Each structure stands twice: as C-alpha cells, then as structure tokens.
Structure 1
C-alpha cells in the first residue's frame, strides 16, 4: 500500500508540472512588467544635488575678474555699493599676508578691488589685465582652496610699451562661504610681493633716491586727499621730514610703522579718506603701527571667531 501511495504522488506531481507549463505557454502576459534595458538608480540618488564646487568656483572667479582693469573702476569709485550682490557676505572678515587683516565688508572689498593697481596711479602704468585660477578644490559646501595667477601688463594707450607683459602675481587662498555661496571668511597669501614691486616699478628700497621719491609721492597725495578734519600734516615738507625718520619696510612685511604700509593705505585714501588718512599720518592710525609678529599672523580666534584650525575645515 505504501509503495502504491508513493507512485500516486509521483504521478500527481508530474501532471501538476505539465499543467503549469501549459498555463505559462497559453496565457498571454498582458500585465507583466517590461524588462528594463538597465537598472534604474535608487530613488534617493535621483534627487537633484547642488554642485557646490561649481558654485564656489564661480564666486571666486567673479571676484578675481573684478580685479582686472578696468573692471574694478565702478567699485573704486563707489566702494562697497559697487560690488555685485552674492560675492561677499556683509559680515565678511579675512587676512591677506603680508598686507593686513580686514575686519568688515568695506575693508575686504577695498583690498580686493581698490588695491588692484590702476595704470594711471603708478609710474609703471601697471595693471592686472588677466587671471587664471590654476588650482581649485572644494570637497564640501562651505570651504574651498585656490591658487590664482594674476597677469599684469602695461596699460598706456598710444605709447610703444602699451601691452608689454609685466611679472605676474600669485595668490594662494582658503575660503569659507555662507549658505548662499558668498564669501564669509578668507585667509590669503601673496608670495614674493616685494620682489614683484621692485621688478615692476624698478624701485630699490636700498637706494636713497628711490626712498625719497616714494616718501614724496605719499606726502603729496596725503596733502591733496586728507584735508580739513582728515588732515595729518601741516605741509608736505613736514610730512617728508617725519617719514624720512621711519623705517622703509618691505612689501613682504607690510604691517608696521613704515613707508611701505603708508604707500598701501595712501591708495585707499581715494576711497574712504576719513578712514585711511590716519593710517598715513604720524601715528599710523592703528594700522601702520608696529606689532609683535604673532599678533598679526596668528590672531585666528580674534579675527574669525573660531579656534585656530577650524575656520577652513569641512564641517
């Protein structure tokens, strides 16, 4: 009986298999899912992801483009009001070695744009006439690092040297952006700035005649631009006598009670004389003053409001 039951089960199983095959052949699969040509991505990966690296690169590129002559002229004339929206946060702060710390919006835009050389404002007729961001990295939304070459040339239309290439400048920088992609904090460095100035202007800080010429230019401009409540000296002669007693300094160490620092800030007297005239005066106005080396270069917590080493790290 047991063997008969096993035989019956085997026959029944064979018939069931044949019936299933028949069903699969004769019933059309009208509602079957089509076989995809390739697997669809996971639903989450289909959400649009913002390209923060591209956004940050665009911001930096737009900033450097405005250092190219004559793109900076509207900002030079109008100050912060001439800066396009979205480039700098209104609370931006930063440092540029070896020029100084910049603790607000106006100071920051003055550095980037008002200090970009105007050909009519320097004996070499030098200007930044092009730029190239040669290195860039932004592995997170809020932080980027860059290296830019600022190409310079003579801008002197109608003269034989117009368009003559001059030595380029380099700037290495770290950037922090706000949630909209505007620069909130920066830490930048211009290597070999003193060599660039000397090779571009043919000035020699060790030459008494070059030193006297630089002092005369500073004093003449100061007397022209710093008048009334902004006056610093009673005469050009008084200014030249006083500044001749000060250290000349170096553009690789522009912080200090020296001539080099005043040559930078005298340019800015064209933009905000009430702010910058004291910087070229006898006391240095809190900017052109001697400070210990660490106070300038390592005041990260005071400048950025964060412990050293955290400002330009990805969160």
Structure 2
C-alpha cells in the first residue's frame, strides 16, 4: 500500500514536471498563432470552405478603423475572409484587392496580447498589379489561442486608395464601355452596378431592400461615394464593402447595402467612436489577468503594485523565483529514495547488513543509474544544437537534462551521510557550471552556449557503468562480473571524460572565442577553462579509483578471499572505494 502511494506520488510529480499547465503559453505560441492568422488572411478561401479552422473565437469582437466594429465569429469571418473570397471570384475589376502574401514588419508579444504590423500585398488581376498595404493590429488571444479581440488600423489607407484607384480607372472604364476619364464618376458607376447586381440576385422576398434594380441604381448614383476612411458611414463606399457578404446571409447583409444602411452604413459620431471600447477582452496586456472582482477593495497604490507583479520578467537569476517544476522534482527525488530504500530493505540481505552510510550510498547508485540515463535520453534528443539546429523543443530537453543532473547532485549532497572531497568537488563544479551557463545564456543570448552545455552534461550522463559496478560491489554480486564491469567502467569513464573535455575546448574555440570583444565573454571563457580542468581532475581520480577497486577484487579472487562490502572496519581498499568519483 505504501509503495503504491509512493509510486503514485512519483508519477504525479513526473507528470507535473513534464506537462506544464495548458493555461500558461509561451511567446512562441503567440508567434505561431499570428502566423496562422496571417496565412489564413492571405488564403481566405481556406477558412470559408472549412479546410482550416477559424483563428477567431466564438465571441470575438473586432474593430477596423476604416469601417466599424464586428461582433461574433460568423460576422468577423465574413468580413475578414469572405470579403476577399468573393472579390477574388469576380470577373470584373474590384476596388478592394485580394491579399496574396505578407511580411511581418514589427511584432511585440506580451501574453496574451500581441501587437503586430503586417505588410500585405493586394493583387488586382485585371491590371496585373499588386500593391502593399500595411495593417497594424492589437490582438488578444484566449486560452485556446484563438483571437478574442482585435483592433485593426489600415495604415495610410487613404493614400493607398488614392494611389490605386486612378490606376484601376482605365480598366473600369473599359469594362463599363464608358468614355469618361473622371475617376469619381467611374467608381460611383462601378459601385452602383456591383451593389445593385448583388441586391437584385440575393435580396429577394422578405430580404428585398429596393423596389427594383432601377431604383437601386438611382439611389446608388445619387448618394455620395464617400472618403476612403468612411467605410462605416452612410455612403456608396460602405455599401460596396458590404455587397460581398450578401450571399452568405442575405437576411443580415441586405439591409447594409439598402437605402437605410442597416446597422453598418450609418452616420456616426466621431467622439463616440473614439471613446467607445467595444471589446470583451482588454487589450492592456499588463492587467489582462485581473477582473473587477479581483480588484475589489484593493487600493489604487496596491493595484499599481499588482501591475509590477504581473509584468515581472523572470530570468534565470531572478531573486525569489523557484519554479514549480524544481519543487516537484525535489519531491520526486525524495520519493524515489524512499521507494528504493524500502525495496532493498525487503529483498536484499546484503543491504540490510550494511551500515547506514553504505545503504544510502547504494540508494544513490540506483538513482544515478536511472536519472542520468533519463538525462542522457533528453540530451540525445537535443543533440542537434551541436550542429546549429536550434529548436524550442531541443532547448527545453537540454534544460530538463540540466535540471535532472543539478537536482540529483544537490539531493546527493544532502542525502548522503558522508562525502569525500573529490566527489564533493565534482558535484560543486558541475552545479556551478550549470548555473553559470544557464545564467550567461539568458544574459548574452549566445545560442552556442547550448552546445557547450550539451557537451558538458555528457560528462555527467555517461557514467552508468560506474554506478552499476559500484552497486554490484555493495550488494555482494558475482565477483568476476563485478570486476569486469568495474574494469570496463574505469576505461570507458576515462576515455569519455577525456574525449568530451577535448570536444568542449574545441567547441569553445570554434564558436565562443569570436565574442571575446566583451569582458563578460572573456570572463566566461576563463571560468569555463578553470572548471573544465577542475572537473577533469576529479574525473581522472575517479577512474583511477574504480580501476583500483577492480584490481582489489581481482587480487581477492586469486587469493580465494571473497570481497566483503560490509566490513566492520575500513580497510585501505574500502577507503579507496569511498573516494571514488561517484561513491
């Protein structure tokens, strides 16, 4: 029962360690969401026909400065995507181009808010041309990474329209068989023909808004076309924008192109438009997680302090920050140690006859085998960083491996009864190196430091054979097999440590020396070399001690004296054992 409870606790801890809560999103996820939206905007038919899901939330509220505010997913989908799909399908020249590609000009992510400026190319097939239009957006995302609020500004839209329309005018005149060169007359006639064509085809029965096509033409040619920025006002330009959505829901959109303008093409008050905040989710990133109930009875001064708390940037060296993953990992180490203690106590006679010091040493051998093996797997997954193949997943795996090793060493320092200076020096050097590299990486942002960390950790994650041999020695396993494994471990450990140390220095010379114009980078290199030398000293000592233990077992076998891991008095060989690199 106890073992089951401990195992369950360990499982929960590991799950929490490896599976962060879905409510917390990383900035790169917002970058991906913006990219998804931008791609959908340049390929609107994919959203309309359902080949990709809408990037908009069900209760999205959006505002476009040159038109008006749109509420709900269906309405926003029609205006953001359907508008361009229908325009692109027309055989005649359209006043609104179709997005074909985009470039991100600027971008700021402050979850859950993103400010982005996209330069979209709008194509006009009938004149075989495209023109850039810059769109600035403030976007708020919900927990499912769908857009819940957006505020869009079409930068220099009036200049864009004034520049493009004269280029369209000759083609429009040709299509209308008109001889006039007056641009205003041409676009007024173009607007009337297109709007009335849609009205006649789709606005019928209960949805009819004009008595006849002639009545529609008369109204549309008499009403002012309007300025480019008046796409939400009572004019011909607003009705032209809305005519592309009529076919989707005539009962909703027919009034928008009719004489009344419905609730879209109407007179609007400037002050009201400016002061109105229609969004159902704030676009202020720093207080997005606080609602009115949270702030009830909280003084203004303390609300400002909450802003400071909310906007704190957590670095590797941030004071008073300790991640939940670290807390759970330390708990997992404790649970693992207890499970191993109970298991050995129940099933191993040799373990029960050991001193408490050797019992704890044996427990750490098992933990070392399991956890360094796990860290090695994560390292192998992240190894592409050595070839400049950086990914978010690889970085996360490498940091997880560093957390496993550093946490394990800290636990050993507190769990073991005694620890000789070579092993203590080894652990301190490794922990300090991990802290140093993670801190400097967050400060300098040199990606090559991930490669340095990758190589460095291999010195700590390739010692499983040593731990297996020492555990077999303590548990009084077959002397011959124990001897052979220790011989192998000594040679393998020495070769691997020497090889990785040389690789580390070579990698440093190739990738990091170039940054020596900064005193900070020079200091890092000096510390790196010093730590490498210190760590190599402990590694060589450890390999020598393992070899010495194997030779002792060999001598005991030849003299027919079986080695005893539980001697009541410490012989010279036992002292050698306790000075091992990983004892």
TM, length-normalised to structure 2: 0.40
TM, length-normalised to structure 1: 0.72
- List runs of 5+ in structure 1 lacking aligned partners: 1-44
Match of 2:123 among 153, 157, 160: 153
| Greater RCO structure (CA 8 Å; 6+ sep) | 1
Q: Is the 8 A contact 1:230 1:274 kept in 2?
A: yes
Match of 1:119 among 85, 88, 94: 88
1:187 counterpart = 2:151: yes
CA RMSD of aligned residues (A): 2.8
Match of 2:130 among 166, 175, 193: 166
C-alpha deviation, 1:275, in angstroms: 0.7
**Normalized per residue, which structure has more strand?**
1
SS class of match (2:149): strand
Cα distance in 2 for partners of 1:128, 1:99 equals: 18
Q: Is the 8 A contact 1:258 1:288 kept in 2?
A: yes
Q: Is the 8 A contact 2:196 2:213 kept in 1?
A: yes
Task: Map 1:1-315; keep pairs closer than 5 Å.
Answer: 52-68=26-42, 71-76=43-48, 78=49, 84=53, 87-116=55-84, 118-121=87-90, 123-124=92-93, 126-139=97-110, 141-155=111-125, 164-201=128-165, 202-203=168-169, 207-300=184-277, 303-305=278-280, 311-315=283-287
C-alpha deviation, 1:313, in angstroms: 2.9
Cα distance in 2 for partners of 1:291, 1:84 equals: 34
Cα distance in 2 for partners of 1:53, 1:257 equals: 41
- Structure 1's 98 and 154: CA in aligned 2 closer, same or farther, altered over 3 A? closer
Q: Is the 8 A contact 1:219 1:236 kept in 2?
A: yes
SS class of match (1:224): helix
Cα distance in 2 for partners of 1:96, 1:108 equals: 11
C-alpha deviation, 1:305, in angstroms: 4.5
C-alpha deviation, 1:207, in angstroms: 2.6
- Structure 1's 297 and 265: CA in aligned 2 closer, same or farther, altered over 3 A? farther
- List runs of 5+ in structure 2 lacking aligned partners: 1-16, 170-180, 288-583
C-alpha deviation, 1:196, in angstroms: 2.8
Q: Is the 8 A contact 2:149 2:280 kept in 1?
A: no
1:17 counterpart residue number: none
C-alpha deviation, 1:47, in angstroms: 9.2
- Structure 1's 205 and 223: CA in aligned 2 closer, same or farther, altered over 3 A? farther
SS class of match (2:238): helix
Cα distance in 2 for partners of 1:231, 1:289 equals: 19
SS class of match (2:117): strand
C-alpha deviation, 1:206, in angstroms: 5.7
Cα distance in 2 for partners of 1:190, 1:90 equals: 24
Cα distance in 2 for partners of 1:98, 1:217 equals: 21
SS class of match (2:285): coil
Larger-Rg structure: 2
**Normalized per residue, which structure has more helix?**
2
Q: Is the 8 A contact 2:61 2:280 kept in 1?
A: no
